[in-house]
Structure formats: structure tokens, C-alpha cells
Amino acid sequence: MNLEKYYPDIIKSISDLVRIPTVYDAASVTPAMPYGKNVHAGYEWLKKRALADGFEVLEFDGHALAIRIPGNNTGERIDVVSHLDVVAPGDGWLDDPFSGAVSDGAIHGRGTQDMKAALMLTYYGLKYIKDQRIPLKREIRVVAGCDEERTMEDIRYYAKKAGDPVFAFTPDGKFPYTLGEKGALMWCVDGIVDTSIEVLDGGVQCNVVSPEASALIRYGGSPDEYEKVLKQKGYPGGVSREGDCIRLQVFGKAAHASRPQDGENATVRLLGLISCVNSDPLAELLYRCFSDYNGRGASLDYDIEPMGKLTMNLGILRIRDNKVLAEVDCRYPYGITSDILTDKLQRALSPLKVTLQYDDRPTLADKNSPWLRILLDTYREISGDINAEPVISGGVTYGKAMKNCVAFGPGREGDQVLAHQANERIEIEKVKQLYRIYTTAMIRLAAS
């Protein structure tokens, strides 16, 4: 396949799309723009591009659009599903997060890894099929959703209107493909408890490992004692006097909640600091339950094959005037239920109240599926990674919201994961290999 001639256009298109800040904006939501003006701008950009390239475009009321090539009337359909929306950039960037800059052998900006590069690579895979007039047995679509990062209602809406494909993949995971995704749930924790903590603010959102946390302590301990423990533990942060209170600030490292081992939870660090100095019962309770991200402190340390260990993340913690509000993310293996987990956490966190807010149950694909064999063989053949085996993921992808859908790349074990982090980027050499993998897989799925 002569794919090289597409490289310049692919790189420019990824860069152009990254420049559109497709973050959900509640203030500009309308019936025609269900996720706000920013995401809709990306939607319109992609629609205009596809129409200019001569594709048929199907629209789904602003929730998703599908770019299609028909098959030979078998009635079967292959979907390749990506998303246009991105998470807010946050702090810590060395450059404009929406610059789309191409430098140092990479494309830079929010969405390059998650998942605008993958979207455009599969789009150009579809374009190659169209340009070469490759005969297809099955219809194939590149589908672009608009709310994967929040609710995935976009793709549920699409699936309800379009019906189920015979097979689908989303380029939003790891190679060679994701055999199963752990269950993903969120708990809200609230209550009123006597505490020395006047105010505490930790975390940015539930599915992100907290990068920063701060607190005002009314009583218990001196600034010197807090400074001493802060230094002993090696936590970046600071201590100061603020009126009659002590101000504490602790920093961590952000990471996606599906991989808490990649981050350092600043809120947990802060709770540990408070517990060490003044033995506050609330701080001790929360630290005991959440200091181990595999759930040991709350008796949630399940390890069930083939999915492995449960993980959890205290994503948000707010304390005001003895009122506690927390949001906890948990990824759990096939073989345990959210009811059992919720009951155990409630017992561990008493007298606080635990409420299950949502629960996406685990998914597990059939390893003997011929569709999965195509993905595995394609990846091994082009990458040379002949020993690659299917993976289990703690992430949540469209595979949870669509039938017959699995994640297929673009990551590999050992890659630097910058999705949802500052200074996100993707290397151009990787883009080139990914283009060959995705185009080959799309042809084989639709034509074989």
C-alpha cells in the first residue's frame, strides 16, 4: 500500500483539529449543540472535511456523525468509533494546550493521544479505501462521538438510531486489543463529622488522580510540626499561618484514575500529613480507606483473573464546616459486583454515607472471535511484536456503550501515557505506523 503520500495531510489535519478546543461547555448547550459550542465546532469541522472529500455523512442530531462507505448489500456493518471531545487542559503546560504545534518530531496539544490523532488516522484509512476503490463486502463507517469524556450518551444515542454493527473497534486503548474492560463505578461520600479541618479542597475531577490539595486546620499541631512531617515524607508543598488556622498545601501528580499507579494523590498525601500531626479522626478514617489504591484499607483488595486487581481513586474531597463531600472512582474486575463493593465501603467509612452514583459493569470479549483474530494478526504482522497478547484495561471506552466493540490501540505497554495530562503529544513516527495498522485492519474487516 502506498500510504506515504497521505502523511503530510494526516499531520496537518491532526494539528488543525487539536486547535479546536472541543471541551464540553454547559453554557452554550442547545438542542442542535447538545455538548456546547466548542465540541460542535469540531463536529462541523469534520463534517465539512468529509463532505469536501466526497464522503456520505450521516448526522445524529449533534451527538455523533458517521462517515460511510457502503458494502455490497450483505447488511453487515463495521464501525470504527472515536470521539471529538477532550478533557479540559488543566495547568502545567509548557505551551498553549490547543496550539497543535508540530515540533521535535511530535504533534503537541490536548487530544493528540486521546483521541484526535486516532480519529484522523482512521478517517484517512477510510479515505484510502475510497481513493483506491477497494471492493467491500461490508459497509464501513468512521463514527465520531461528542461526549465520551463525560457520559458516553453520544454513542448510546448513535447506537440506538443506527443499530448494532456486526463488529466495531475504538482506537482508544492498547494493542494488540483490549479483551476486557474492568467495571467502572463512582461513589459519592457525604456526612457531617466533628473535625479539626476548617476547610479542605482536594482534586479536580473524580477520574483524575488529585494533583493538588489544601486545607485550613483549626487546632492540633503547630506549623513547625507540619513542616517537619512534610519534609520527612518528601512531599512538595507548604505550611503557613493564616489567622488562627494553619494553612497546608500539598502537591501530587495527576494521572488517569484507571491507572492510579502512574500518579501521586495529593489529597491522600494531605490526609496522611494531618493524621500524623494531630490524629484527626476524620483524616485518619479517610487516609486508612484510600491510602492504598488497591483498596486494602477498605477491605476491597480484590484480585480476580483474568482482570486482576481492583483500583480506586479518591478523586475529589471537599470539607466545609464539618460537612464532607467526596467522589471516589473505582475500577473492579469481572467476578465481583458493585453491590458488594458498596456495602463494604459503607462499613469501612461509617459514619459517613456512601452512595453509588453510576456503575458501568465489566465487559469481556470472546477471545476466539474471528474479528479479534484479524486485529491480532494485523498488529503482530505490521508492528513485528509477534508475542503480543490481548490486554485487560481499567479504562472506560466506547466498548462499554456499544455492542460488539473492543479497543484496538493506539497505545503499547511501556508507552508514555499523557492522556488527560499536561504536555500531551504524539510522535510523528508513531502516527505513520499507526496509519498502516489501522488502514490494513479496516480493509480486512470490511473486505474479507
Q: What is the pLDDT of residues 1-36, one digit of tens each?
A: 899 999 999 999 999 999 999 999 999 999 999 999
Q: What is the pLDDT of residues 103-154, one digit of tens each?
A: 999 999 999 999 999 999 999 999 999 999 999 999 999 999 999 999 999 9
As a whole number of angstroms, the distance between CA 221 and CA 335 comes to 45
Note the pLDDT of residue 417: 86
Predicted confidence band at 398 (pLDDT cuts at 50, 70, 90)? very high
Domain co-membership, 147 together with 15: yes
Q: Beta partners for 392?
A: 180
Q: Please determine, for residue 73, whether its predicted confidence score (pLDDT) is greater than 80.
A: no
Predicted confidence band at 395 (pLDDT cuts at 50, 70, 90)? confident
CATH of the domain at 70: 3.40.630.10
Domain co-membership, 337 together with 272: yes
Q: What is the pLDDT of residues 306-347, one digit of tens each?
A: 999 999 999 999 999 999 999 999 999 999 999 999 999 999
Domain-ending residue, one of 360, 393, 409: 360
Domain co-membership, 108 together with 145: yes
Note the pLDDT of residue 194: 96
Domain co-membership, 211 together with 295: yes
Cα torsion 222, 227, 230, 231: sign: negative
Q: Are strands 363-364 and 178-181 parallel, antiparallel or unpaired?
A: antiparallel
Counted domains in the chain: 2
The residue segments making up the domain with residue 314 are 183-360
Flag the least confident range among 20-29, 222-231, 367-376, 393-402: 393-402
| Mean pLDDT in residue range 289-306 | 97
| Mean pLDDT in residue range 71-97 | 94
As to burial, measured by CB atoms within 10 angstroms (0-12 exposed, 13-18 middle, 19+ buried), residue 137 is middle
Domain co-membership, 337 together with 411: no
Note the pLDDT of residue 421: 85
DSSP label at 19? Answer: T
As a whole number of angstroms, the distance between CA 441 and CA 432 comes to 15
Note the pLDDT of residue 233: 95
